[in-house]
């Protein structure tokens, strides 16, 4: 069993922490709002006031926070950042979906500490985190991958080795941009089926049996039909992730018109006040706009 620090007790981080405790690891935790740690402390974790203190003497530090700024704070802040506490041979694991540029800075800081850096963002949302069926897209040296694989397996069902440390986040941004396209396509399809008077559920089941339809897209389309907007993947999250993928495409001179179109759809939804809702709520916006068009 390992001694692990987990930074970030949000919806995903707290579930990851619970899984690590159930796997009998010793767990140090930190969250910027301290009372979020209380349920995990009750399970056996030890909470710390700063990331730097949480990281002292551990084998692995895992961060699961919202964006580049939050990640820079918990890892690199000169007063309280965790990176400066890590000893030679430890492993720094970034699990959030951030920018490639930021994770390159983390990798450089880790190298300065003689610490291995691993990018290990995951696919799956809250139901998968609860079921420990997350799929990690991991960028790491072969040596670091062998170290982190059993740690990540405590929280997921599959650990894919994408390649070098930054390959994990690069591939995950591509994956999440495809997810944004899935939501946008399903919302348009559901809006059409309802507006045209089709038997939407029957049509969806027929479409689901054909090759172009992914299991995830069909699942979200079913949620759209049922009005199930339980928070799993928020609209603002898809704005962030697809924008980060657009940025990495532009770095290589690759046009990304599809992702830009999906990003625009989600930004309009956020501007309308839907940003903190699950991406399934996109279907509601399509239905409202369709009703306005038909009324006109």
Enzyme catalytic residues: 172
User: What letter does residue 87 receive in the DSSP assignment?
Assistant: P
- Nearest-angstrom CA–CA distance, 244 and 256: 12
b or e along 68-101 (b: 16 or more beta carbons within 10 Å of the residue's beta carbon)? Answer: bebbbbbbbeeebbbbbbbeeebbbbbbbbbbbe
Take residue 32 and report the two structure tokens written for it.
């910027």
- Nearest-angstrom CA–CA distance, 44 and 65: 21
Which residue in 104, 117, 11 sits closest to 65, CA to CA? 11
Pair 111, 138: CB distance under 8 Å: no
Q: Collapse the DSSP code of 83 into the 3-class scheme (helix H, G, I; strand E, B; otherwise coil) and give the result.
A: helix
b or e along 153-192 (b: 16 or more beta carbons within 10 Å of the residue's beta carbon)? Answer: bbbbeebebbeebbbbbbbbbbebbbbbbbbbbbbebbbe
């Amino acid at each position: 069993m390992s001694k692990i620090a987990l930074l970030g007790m949000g919806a995903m981080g707290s579930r990851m922490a619970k899984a690590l405790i159930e796997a009998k690891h010793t767990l140090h935790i930190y969250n910027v709002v301290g009372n979020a740690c209380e349920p995990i402390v009750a399970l056996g974790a030890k909470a710390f006031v700063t990331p730097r203190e949480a990281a002292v003497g551990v084998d692995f530090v895992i961060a699961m926070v919202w964006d580049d700024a939050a990640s820079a704070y918990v890892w690199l802040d000169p007063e309280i950042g965790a990176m400066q506490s890590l000893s030679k041979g430890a492993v720094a694991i970034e699990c959030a979906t951030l920018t490639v540029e930021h994770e390159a800075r983390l990798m450089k800081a880790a190298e300065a500490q003689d610490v291995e850096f691993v990018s290990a963002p995951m696919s799956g949302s809250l139901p998968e985190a609860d079921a420990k069926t997350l799929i990690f897209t991991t960028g790491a040296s072969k040596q670091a991958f062998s170290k982190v694989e059993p740690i990540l397996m405590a929280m997921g069902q599959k650990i894919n080795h994408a390649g070098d440390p930054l390959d994990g986040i690069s591939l995950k941004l591509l994956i999440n941009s495809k997810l944004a396209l899935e939501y946008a396509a399903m919302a348009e399809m559901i809006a059409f089926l309802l507006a045209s008077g089709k038997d939407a559920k029957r049509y969806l089941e027929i479409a689901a049996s054909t090759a172009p339809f992914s299991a995830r897209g069909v699942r979200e389309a079913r949620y759209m039909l049922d009005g199930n907007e339980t928070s799993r993947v928020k609209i603002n999250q898809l704005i962030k992730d697809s924008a980060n993928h657009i940025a990495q495409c532009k770095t290589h001179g690759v046009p990304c018109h599809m992702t830009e179109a999906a990003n625009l759809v989600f930004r309009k939804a956020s501007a309308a006040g839907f940003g903190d809702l699950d991406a399934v709520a996109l279907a509601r916006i399509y239905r409202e706009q369709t009703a306005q068009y038909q009324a006109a």
